[in-house]
Structures are given as C-alpha cells and as structure tokens.
C-alpha cells in the first residue's frame, strides 16, 4: 500500500485504465469487468480490479489535473508495477470537424507546463503515445464503426482558461481538443519505460458551445472504454 493507494501487493493489475472521476471508475468496473473488487478508496479515489475477457484489469480514478494524475500514475508504476496505463476521459473539441461523442486518440499532448517541467527546465520535451496502443486503438475504433480522430491534444493546467489568443493558435495548428491530464501521463510513461495512451470522448465543443447532456455521457463513454480494453490486449 502507498500514501494514496490502499491496495495490497498483487491487487493492482499490470494494465490500468485511468478515468479522472472515481465514480466513473466504479461505473466502468461494474459495466465492463467480471468479478470487480474494490481495491482502493483512499480519499474517495476509487479503484477496482477484475477481469475482461480473461485479462486482469484495474480501473483507478486519477482525479482532476496533471498534479493529481501524477500522484496516481507514479505510485501505480513505481509501487505496483503497472505496465500499461490508458487514460479514459472527456475533452473539449477545438476543431470544427470534431463532433460531440467522437473519440479522440491523443498521438501527442502539448502543454504550457506539467509537473515534469521542473526536470526538463528549459527543454520543451514532447511526449507521444505508445505506438502499439495507438494503432491498436485506431483499429478497434474502426472495427466498431466509432467516429474517431487521431492527432495532437492540449493538456491544460487550468480549467477556467482566459487565453483566447492561445486557443486560437492551437486551433490554427490542428490541436484536436483540450483536457487536463494526458501530457503528464505521457511524460511518466517515457521516464519509466511504460506504455501509455489517452482516449478521450468529446463532451463539449469550444467553438459551437455544444455539450453532451449528463444522462447521455455514460453510454458515449462506453465506446471509449471498449476501445481502451481492446487496444490494451491486442
């Protein structure tokens, strides 16, 4: 057990899905895993381990923002030997051809700063997704007929952004969407030699101001979870 994860040795699988919301972790575990067992509830950040098609999987909430994600990913990697970490979360679309409910596969994750910035200092490190996971996820989405986009995203360190000039430039340069965690996940995966990918369901649109109603989010997020599980064990 660690400071933030109360699981015993052996209770965390090598493959971990990371939704930000702990209640979404519970929903995904109850919906997609067999024999799901609660293995963490420290600070209310729920984590479950079960099986999917015979493969052991942990679904662990990671909180909101890169500092919170960094805590859980560090402990999962260093103390529980997690090998594959897939973020499953929501995002805000930044391109006109990206629609509500679409799934985005984050090839790269740009950022202004991450918890890893102190290590790199003046160096602007650009962490990518794991190619094997990315390509497997793209194939899984295509086979399921799910509308998907592959490309760069932006990991913000604030939710209430006041930089319309920056948003304009990101849109101009093809950034697909904004979220708050993936860049640090990719940094940690590169540092420790692990596989990582961010899968994101578009729940809001920065240009059209559309938003996915709360009662429709779970069904839409289900597509993303299926893609993540399929890609993890391809």
Alpha helices in 117-199 (DSSP H): 117-120, 131-144, 164-172, 182-192
90 annotated to a ligand binding site: yes
113 annotated to a ligand binding site: no
Which is the catalytic residue, given 35, 130, 204, 215?
204
143 annotated to a ligand binding site: no
215 included as an active-site residue: no
210 annotated to a ligand binding site: no
Query: Is residue 84 within a helix (H) or strand (E), and if so which, with residue range?
Result: strand 84-93
Count, residues in the chain: 234
94 annotated to a ligand binding site: no
20 annotated to a ligand binding site: yes
Question: How open is the CA angle 12-132-101, to the nearest 5 degrees?
Answer: 80
CB 55 within 8 A of CB 15: yes
Nearest partner of 148 among 203, 109, 108, 105, judged by Cα: 105
CB 136 within 8 A of CB 234: yes
179 annotated to a ligand binding site: yes
203 annotated to a ligand binding site: yes
CA–CA distance, 119 with 133 (Å, rounded to integer): 26
Specify which residues 178 forms β-bridges with: 92, 154
49 HSE (CA, 13 A, CB side): 18
Specify which residues 89 forms β-bridges with: 200
Annotated binding-site ranges for phosphate:
20, 24, 43, 87-90
Annotated binding-site ranges:
4, 20, 24, 43, 87-90, 179-181, 203-204
Residues with a catalytic annotation lie at 204
Annotated binding-site ranges for a purine D-ribonucleoside:
4, 179-181, 203-204
């Amino acid at each position: 057990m660690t400071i933030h994860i109360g699981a015993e040795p052996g209770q965390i699988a090598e493959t971990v899905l990371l939704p930000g919301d702990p209640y979404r972790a519970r929903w995904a575990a109850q919906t997609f895993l067999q024999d799901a067992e609660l293995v963490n509830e420290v600070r209310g950040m729920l984590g479950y381990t079960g099986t999917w098609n015979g493969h052991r999987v942990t679904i662990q909430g990671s909180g909101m923002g890169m500092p919170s994600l960094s805590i859980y990913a560090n402990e999962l990697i260093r103390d529980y030997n997690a090998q594959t970490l897939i973020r499953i979360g929501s995002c805000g679309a930044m391109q006109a051809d990206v629609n509500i409910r679409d799934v985005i596969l984050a090839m790269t994750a740009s950022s202004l700063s991450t918890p890893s910035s102190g290590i790199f200092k003046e160096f602007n490190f650009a962490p990518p997704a794991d190619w094997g996971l990315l390509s497997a996820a793209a194939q899984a989405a295509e086979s399921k007929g799910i509308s998907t986009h592959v490309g760069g995203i932006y990991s913000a360190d604030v939710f209430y952004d006041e930089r319309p000039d920056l948003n304009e430039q990101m849109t101009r340069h093809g950034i697909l969407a904004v979220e708050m965690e993936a860049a640090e996940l990719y940094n940690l995966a590169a540092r420790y030699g692990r596989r990582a990918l961010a899968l994101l369901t578009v729940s809001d649109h920065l240009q059209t101001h559309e938003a996915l109603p709360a009662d429709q989010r779970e069904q839409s997020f289900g597509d993303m979870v299926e893609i993540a599980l399929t890609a993890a064990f391809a």
